[in-house]
Structure 1
Amino acid sequence: ATKALLASGANIDEMNCIRKHLSKVKGGGLARIASPARLINLILSDVIGDRIDTIASGITAPDPTTFQDALAIVRKYALEDKLPQAVKDHLVRGAKGNIPETPKADNPVFCNTVNIILGNNTLAVNTARKTAERLGYDARILSTTLVGEASGAGSYFAQLAKAIDPGQSGMAKPAIILAGGETTVTIRGKGKGGRNQEMALAFAVELHRISPGSQNIFFLSAGTDGSDGPTDAAGALVTPALMEQMKTISAKASACLAENDAYHFFEDTGCLFKTGPTYTNVCDIQILAVV
């Protein structure tokens, strides 16, 4: 079910809605199991906006969604023929009231539950900004709630880079733009990659189109957990050396983007960003540098 959801382009809230209604722990289920014991949840947020009901699918928070909502998402993304029959049957039984709903805000199981956020994407991006400033960069934060199609975000960063380079943005070089969030990829091809690699590839393709051979622009998009899609990379890096190569491999880059095959493109060009598991997850981070 998870693979079908990821391939559909459903966002994290929509995926979590379905997950909550397939689990006894998610969607406040852990709080219900632990009740009436006192429960303290120390949280690293991997969710944009830090909504407690969404982080880890809201194991200790009331769930505002319903089985009906989950079925609506299945229909929205035409997943009726892509989900296991057992999953569809479970959601239908729940929508008919034959399976108990997830606990809502007025449920007494939450009276002894405390949720504390220890770290999130905003903290990570702000720390990166302070580090960049100490290194002498004019550093700005674009957003810590970046969402939408990864390829569209990559193209936008390329256009932003071109605006910064000649001084049209009001920023002094060397400049760094930072962002964080979690984009999505609607899979249309049969390639290999992840949202961060796709964003970096779209960045390279667009930057080559509007400013071929750029020699002072760098771009990184990576997952803070060290993982990006079903790959061994955290993301990918676009460098001046790669932009020089784009003069001869731009057609390959565009073909790989159309096929959702960013991994093999960056593997061939030596620009995969590999950290290994970081054992934490506060969404993704993007770093655009114009030097």
Structure 2
Amino acid sequence: MKFFKTIRTKLIISTLKSALKMSNSNEILRELFRVSVDAVQPYKLIIDSVKLEKGHLTVKGVNYPLRKPVHIVGFGKAVLEMAIALEDILGSYLQMGIISIPQGILESCKISIPENSKIQCMEGANNNLPDQNSLKASLKIQELVENLNEDETIVVLISGGGSALLPLPKDGITLSEKLELIKKLGNSGADILELNCVRKEISKIKGGGLAKLCYPARVITLILSDVIEDRLDIIASGPTCTNMDTSEKAIDILKKYSLYENLAESIKKVLQDNSSSKEDHTFIRNGKFCHVDNYIIGNNRIAVDAILEKSKEFGFQSFLLSTNITGNVAELSKVYAGVSKNFADFLSNTKTKKKLIDDLLRFNKMITFLDEESIIQEVEKLYSNQKICLILAGEPTVIVTGSGLGGRNQQLALSFSVELHKLQIGSSVSVTLLSCGTDGIDGPTDAAGAIGYSTLVHDCVEQNLDPNFFLGNNDCYNFYNSFQGGKYLVKIGHTGTNVMDIHIILIEK
């Protein structure tokens, strides 16, 4: 009896230790995510990038003599704080501004817009979906910019979520027709580049449309990037950047996903008219608008660098694997689980350092490491009782097959947990992942994302929850809301910023 009592006691102690470690990892992940979001707060980014002195506006070292009046337009999840900061800098030089911002962000913004502000804030795109309110804001922005003259300067503020907040379709297409097509395309598994290509070809302001409307006024665009590799033609679908895509390419994408044949006639006509019409090159020089200067003032590299620094305080050996994550969540979760398993095996002394490096290089072909050489160097420094932090960022996609409630980050966290369970990581090593959107909103939910971990599937048994059922129905929000009182959902509300998604994996003995 003593023997079994001892075994039972050891099991209870082991379970308690595991639970404590899980709780600690949960808190560390939330703190690391908070630090990443704080690093890309838009007010600070504007103050750091823009100066006004003796009638000259300086943007990242470039001087612009200002002639009154100056106007502001903006659209995106971060532009409220950007606009407040810019109004503080411009003072009396600012005549007026119009910004299109997400529904509810005025209440959650950390900085209040002054009562005497010259900037009109128009909320819309509830749950990150274009609507009549964001359409009205687009029309107001169009009305302002198309009446500017060459003596005027307009500062355009752009951040993630700009597409939903600037949904004005080309003439002849209704908003509902446009939204239905984009929804079908997204649900078919189209990536962000394909989605933006089609958006631009059926939109009036995207794809350089805003820059054309602003001509001949001087346009200065300040951008908080939410796309892979900071491509100007992709951020908010490139309203102040020349359009490198074509209607022919958009048609090919729609055919690829079997959507072209049943397309609304109004959209078909616009795409066909675009193909046959010639581009007006009056204000384009060397492939760029001659009256526009675009500046990236913030991106996800700033956010992940903050995680790198903070993780050291918690005693982790950290690896920045990639800032360009794309692809389908179902496949990505397998890659993340595989990478994690390799590090876990090393910590368990079942894999040599050389084998770890060899296996990691295999995964490099799937997720494209930021700097293969530096990752190898960091692995060389590892020792077997080290705590490991893997950092990745980007914007993967989900193929929607169910009718549930969730978002790509919640889907990734739960799918990762299931894949880890399949790989049977030993109980001596814990693996925990946080997957969250830096805007604080994951899909049409009130969560930024969720946390997954190596024993989650085992822990579901007590509540009779089947993770695979929820994954198949794309219902991960309801899974996490039910699982252990929702403590693995990450809820922080609108953050006022957006530099795509952050994925952090902690691996420790």
Give TM-score scaled by structure 1 length.
Answer: 0.90
- 1:67 matched to 2:247? The reply is yes
- 1:204 matched to 2:417? The reply is yes
* Aligned partner (choices 370, 385, 388) of residue 175 of structure 1: 388
Q: How does 1:1-291 map to 2 (within 5 A)?
A: 1-80=181-260, 84-97=264-277, 101=279, 106=285, 110-167=289-346, 168=351, 169=356, 170=379, 171-172=382-383, 173-211=386-424, 214=427, 216-239=430-453, 242-246=456-460, 252-269=466-483, 270=486, 271-291=488-508
Which deviates more, 274-283 or 255-264? Answer: 255-264
Alpha-carbon distance in structure 2 between the residues aligned to 1:242 and 1:252: 11
- How many residue pairs end up in the alignment? 289
Unaligned runs of 5+ in 2: 1-180, 357-378
Change (3 A) 1:206 1:241: closer
Alpha-carbon distance in structure 1 between the residues aligned to 2:233 and 2:490: 31
For residues 224-261 of structure 1, what are the alpha-carbon distances to aligned partners after superposition, in whole Å with 9 as ceiling and x for unaligned? 11111122211111246735414567971112222222
Alpha-carbon distance in structure 2 between the residues aligned to 1:82 and 1:282: 35
Which amino acid counterpart does residue 87 of structure 1 have in structure 2?
I
Query: Which secondary structure does the structure 2 equivalent of 1:16 belong to?
Result: helix
Alpha-carbon distance in structure 2 between the residues aligned to 1:148 and 1:183: 5
Query: Which secondary structure does the structure 1 equivalent of 2:327 belong to?
Result: coil
Percent identity of equivalent pairs: 40
Query: Which secondary structure does the structure 2 equivalent of 1:222 belong to?
Result: strand
1:107 deviates by: 7.5
| Contact kept? 1:63, 1:102, Cα under 8 Å | no
Instruction: Name the structure, 1 or 2, with higher relative contact order (CA <8 Å, separation 6+).
Output: 1
Unaligned runs of 5+ in 1: none
Alpha-carbon distance in structure 1 between the residues aligned to 2:284 and 2:249: 17
Query: Which secondary structure does the structure 2 equivalent of 1:165 belong to?
Result: helix
Change (3 A) 1:246 1:210: farther
Alpha-carbon distance in structure 2 between the residues aligned to 1:155 and 1:250: 24
1:190 deviates by: 2.1
Change (3 A) 1:202 1:23: same
| Contact kept? 2:187, 2:400, Cα under 8 Å | yes
Which amino acid counterpart does residue 290 of structure 2 have in structure 1?
C
| Contact kept? 1:27, 1:59, Cα under 8 Å | yes
Which amino acid counterpart does residue 499 of structure 2 have in structure 1?
V
| Contact kept? 1:46, 1:121, Cα under 8 Å | yes
For residues 261-287 of structure 1, what are the alpha-carbon distances to aligned partners after superposition, in whole Å with 9 as ceiling and x for unaligned? 222211111222111111111010100
| Contact kept? 1:152, 1:199, Cα under 8 Å | no
For residues 20-69 of structure 1, what are the alpha-carbon distances to aligned partners after superposition, in whole Å with 9 as ceiling and x for unaligned? 11222111111111112111111100000001111111111111111111
Which amino acid counterpart does residue 274 of structure 2 have in structure 1?
G
Which deviates more, 40-49 or 243-252? Answer: 243-252
Alpha-carbon distance in structure 1 between the residues aligned to 2:462 and 2:270: 52
Change (3 A) 1:208 1:108: closer
| Contact kept? 1:71, 1:92, Cα under 8 Å | no
